[in-house]
Structure 1
Amino acid sequence: MTLGARLQELRLRHGMSQDALADKLGVSRQAVSKWERDEATPDLDKIIKLSELYGISLDALLKGESQPAKTQQTPTHPHKADWNRILTWGGLLGGGAMVVWGLTNAVGLMAYEQIASNMLSGAVNVMGVTMTGEAQNMFSQFLPTSQILWVAPVAKLLIGAALIGLGLWARKKGRTQA
């Protein structure tokens, strides 16, 4: 069997027209026709592309050997989808948990400050002194909860928001790659 006959057989086996093959190789339909009639021979770079396109070795293409080529495919990552799923759900669930945790800490901190303030003003009222305005503010500065205690709830809220953002990003990336 000639090279031209093998090229025609492979093209037909893959269900391609001469035009479709010519487009894939970047040549004219007439060039493909000449190759198949053995009036011309494809350049080496076109022979390599034909070998890759049909999934056969260069030997099989040129010599007519029947061994299928061991095609070298780019290694795929079978666990890539798993990592994407882990990032998506881990980010969304972990971020949601961090936000809830941060909110409960913030609510608890506000309640603690209110209770401590009421206890302090109640203790002063027991002594017979009524606190108003600046006097009340003066005692509130002695409360052990100051701005530093708000760092933890705010940090938890920010980390939670970042994790949710990571989950949404991974979800979007997974959809575009699917």
Structure 2
Amino acid sequence: MNLLVECPDDRYGLQCSEKCGACKKGERCDHVTGVCSNGCDDGRKGTKCDIDCNEGFYGENCSFSCGHCRNQEQCDVINGSCFNGCENGYWGFQCNYVSARDIFSIFSLDNPLTIPLLTIFGICSFSLALVVCLCFKKKRRTRNNDNGIMAVNPSAIQDNEGRTDHKSENHSEDYTELEAVYQNDDYESLN
């Protein structure tokens, strides 16, 4: 006669011979299979939460990468902190912040990327300045046309000067009504 006896909180399996893994928030694992139904505590993984994080990882389901711990040591599997400090150039609890000094070292003459980066920066700056100048020039031209200034096509003038075949007896037809075009003088408003 077999009696089914539920295992204590930290045990599972036949005759409660197996130890439960690190189920999330100390929850009980399944007393038959050992599975943690709500996941694992930080630093553990697997369905039974019985596997430590691989080297270089920490946190929930071991899904976060460790920072830059000194001598490439493993970080704390729970919170990612570095036990013996950070590599040179990094700082913070998890050694994941870069020192400002090291950011600017990218532009030292010892770095082979300095000249290409500065060249690209120069080209981009020149291109931007050129685009801005062209936009201002176009805007100025549009504003001048709005003030009554018209551009004259020199070839059209030459074409009309050379024509002598049309002579009108009625000179009133040769002229159209002229209107005065006023142009704002920028200097009139200065006082």
- Tell me the TM-score normalised to structure 1 length: 0.21
Higher alpha-carbon Rg? 2
More strand, by proportion: 2
Q: Which has the higher contact order (CA 8 A, sep 6+)?
A: 1
More helix, by proportion: 1
